[in-house]
Amino acid sequence: MQRLGLEQRYVYGPVRSRRLGWSLGVNISPTAVKHCSFGCIYCERGLTRVFYGSPQDRPEYMPPTSEILEEIRTGLERERAAGRQLDAITFAGNGEPTDHPDFGEITVETRRLRDQLMPRARMALLSNARHVQSARIRDVISQFDIRCLKLDAGEESLWRRIDVPFGVTLDEVVAGIAKISGVTIQSMFITGKVDNATEAAVGALIERLRFIRPIEIQVYTLDREPPLSGVRPVDGERLREIAARIQRETGTPAIAYGGE
Ligand code: SF4
């Protein structure tokens, strides 16, 4: 497994994604420092060095909105000029997209650029759901065609050990996600230092999923080297068992990715 560093640009790829097809990545998080509202112990971008403070925060290293939008425009123009059809424009990158104070403005402008330059590409968001208690953030999330929100555990203490959230509780996150329609939940399963692949942990997650009622659940495991030693991937057979149990007990499609 390889380590993945921080993206040094606001637009990267396109990359071939198992879930999204040809996807142009959009990173609206800082490029110089790992900044996030979670400190997930498996994060492929490394350990979080600076935790996000409040929605009003605008540290000097936060990427300027005008520069982000200019890179998005240039990236879409480049792909269009090359005759490449993108399947998705995906907000993900170095940290949590909704942490950016201009997340709403950037989303609206990117949709406009998408409509103009690459109208068949779907707008996708990968988010840790840190800010879903905010109606304003939920409205912005709902503007994405594909809304993938993270939920790695159904029990507070286990969730804290894996995701190391900053300034939010699991109940708040789950209640907020449940208010957004058409959500896909992504759950990362790990073992070793912390284990959320036990039957008890999966059962607690299922309780939360029944409340949220997503349209799909994607379960996956590490395919990059984690920043902490002792954090290990779940094997493929166990991952498929987990997906099967989730689908059986929630009645919602659950798909396993990875864990070969
Ligand atoms: S929420 Fe995403 S970017 Fe932030 S620490 Fe977790 S995996 Fe990394």
Burial class of residue 101 in the structure, from the number of CB atoms within 10 Å of its CB (0-12 exposed, 13-18 middle, 19+ buried): middle
Q: What mean pLDDT is predicted for residues 179-208?
A: 97
SS (H, E, C) 11-23: EEEEEEECCCEEE
Delineate the domains of the chain, giving CATH numbers in brackets.
11-257 (3.20.20.70)
Q: What mean pLDDT is predicted for residues 194-206? A: 98
Distances (CA, A) of 136 to 23, 49, 189: 26, 27, 30
Q: What's the rounded Cα separation, in Å, for the pair 27 and 11?
A: 6
What was the pLDDT predicted at 50?
79
Nearest one of 153, 173, 170 to 219, comparing CA atoms: 153
Among 47, 48, 221, the mutation site with the greatest number of ligand 1 atoms within 8 A of its Cβ is 48
Q: Looking at ligand 1, which residue's alpha carbon is closest to its atom 3?
A: 95
CA-based radius of gyration for the chain: 18
Looking at ligand 1, which residue's alpha carbon is closest to its atom 8?
A: 43
Indicate if ligand 1 lies below 6 Å from the C-beta of 48: yes
Burial classification of residue 209, based on how many CB atoms lie within 10 Å of its CB (0-12 exposed, 13-18 middle, 19 or more buried)? buried
Residue 117 pLDDT > 90 = yes
Query: Average of pLDDT values for 32-52?
Result: 89
The whole-number average pLDDT for the span 141-146 is 98
- Ligand 1 centre from 163 Cα, in Å? 8
Mean per-residue pLDDT over the chain, rounded = 94
Our measurement of the distance from residue 135's CA atom to the centroid of its chain's CA atoms, rounded to an integer in Å, reads 19
Distance, CA of 206 to CA of 250 (rounded, Å):
7
Is residue 41 in contact with ligand 1, taking CB distance under 6 Å? no
